[in-house]
Amino acid sequence: MGPLEEGYVREAFATNWVSTVGPNLEAFEKAFSELVGGLPCVALASGTAAIHLGLKLLGVGKDDEVICPTLTFAASANPIVYEGARPVFVDSERRSWNLDPERLAEAIEDRVKRGRKPKAVVVVHLYGQSADLDAIENVCTQHGIPILEDAAEALGTQYKDVQVGTRAPLSIFSFNGNKIITTSGGGMLVAHDPAWVAKARFWSQQSREPSIAYEHKELGYNYRMSNVLAGIGRGQLAVLPERVAARRAVAARYEAAFRDLPGLSLMPQAPWGLHTNWLSVFLVDSGATRDAILQALAAEDIEARPVWKPMHLQPVFADCPRYGGEVAEDLFTRGICLPSSSSLTIEDQQRVIDVVSRVVTSRSATRTPARQVTPGGETWASRGG
């Protein structure tokens, strides 16, 4: 948080606009709209709320099916169930770790054959990397199925030089505390059709009819963002380019430090876009090594996490159909998210690098017959062979 954010929040306090109406909300939406090519948008309480209203706009309802990548955070899938519909999970491709267009085509064809044409496809841009939108759109257009882009992790991410979350008729973003910019908690729904944004705004404020009396013809939700938090968002938008550059610099430093280490590689950077590296995610040669790194980091009081656990492995979604899942499972088993904050200092990052290097080097050494043992008892992998 910086002085800009504080100024806008102070203004909300001073003018007493502390609820879900006010100048910060209007200004935040206006500034955000500029980021997404002038598309209309509405600021909401969370990215999850935005997905929920987006699915309602697409007419998702009871007993419908909605396709969703299995490798994602649970918030991509949960709102499907809020509407009484069922997620159908599809595997990732290796180039981007996002929805695999070929698997998607297979899944849609099979669902159609069973008389269950999916009502929508949720496309996630994971960890700041764009999915292959051209290929995915191609498949969906053939079948006349609309896409909702879950760009919660992808503000600043580009697909073919354009910000993601602008191609599909509906897209969402998140400003949760862990995302690239934050409002502490919040989300944004973006649509091509201004009438859809107006409808979402109406639903987000309890569907209160524009009359003096409290009249409600439709079910409503308390999903609107607060004017105080929109003030934080206004300030954060101004630093987005810096945050993207900082996240990419963190990933580049890890990549340079680990380049010569065996069995450790940065998440691929797909050729079609700009990866913000919202998180610096690495793939380790085995699940055992991944866990050893997590443990060694924890012992040094450094928090790191595995990659998202695929949805088809979640007990809450045990009954949902799925197409593939092997790629997602492999990425989950071997993937590790290292500390990636834009405020991470060079010194702190070096501590992470030292621990990871020590674990990876000693584990590969124990597997290589040719190794040197130093007097201190540390083992070093032989680089010569």
Ligand X SMILES: *Cc1c(COP(=O)(O)O)cnc(C)c1O
Residue 124 touching ligand X (CB under 6 A) = yes
Applying CB under 6 A, which of residues 35, 133, 148, 152 lies at the interface with ligand X? 152
Cβ of residue 177: shortest distance to ligand X, in angstroms? Answer: 8
- Residue 174 or 361: which CB sits closer to ligand X? 174
What distances in angstroms separate CA 29 from CA 91, 188, 234, one per listed residue? 34, 8, 9
Site string for ligand X, 215-244 (x = CB under 6 A): ------------------------------
CA dihedral 210→213→219→222, nearest 10 degrees, is: 80
In whole angstroms, what separates CA 259 from the centre of its chain?
Answer: 26
Cβ of residue 174: shortest distance to ligand X, in angstroms? Answer: 3
- What DSSP string runs through 275-340? ---SSEEEEES-HHHHHHHHHHHHHTT---EEPPPPGGG-GGGTTS-EE--HHHHHHHHHEEEE--
Cβ of residue 313: shortest distance to ligand X, in angstroms? Answer: 16
Indicate which residue of 119, 179, 217, 309 is catalytic. Answer: 179
- Residue 55 or 360: which CB sits closer to ligand X? 55
- Residue 119 falls in the annotated catalytic set: no
Q: Rg (Cα) of the chain, in Å, rounded? A: 23
| Cα torsion 33, 39, 43, 44: sign | negative
Residue 187 touching ligand X (CB under 6 A) = yes
- Residue 157 or 364: which CB sits closer to ligand X? 157
Q: Which stretch binds ligand X (CB under 6 A): 56-64, 149-157, 162-170, 358-366?
A: 149-157
Which residue matches tokens 């030089």?
A: 161
Cβ-contact 62, 299 below 8 angstroms: no
In whole angstroms, what separates CA 338 from the centre of its chain?
Answer: 16
Q: How far apart are CA 143 and CA 244, in angstroms?
A: 36
Helix (H) or strand (E) holding 11: helix 3-15
Applying CB under 6 A, which of residues 8, 17, 32, 73 lies at the interface with ligand X? 73
Applying CB under 6 A, which of residues 174, 183, 349, 364 lies at the interface with ligand X? 174
Site string for ligand X, 38-67 (x = CB under 6 A): --------xxx-------------------
Applying CB under 6 A, which of residues 12, 43, 75, 147 lies at the interface with ligand X? 75
Applying CB under 6 A, which of residues 130, 157, 176, 276 lies at the interface with ligand X? 176
Q: How far apart are CA 253 and CA 351, in angstroms?
A: 12
Which residues contribute to the site for ligand X (CB under 6 A)?
46-48, 72-73, 75-76, 124, 150, 152-153, 174, 176, 187
Active-site positions read 179
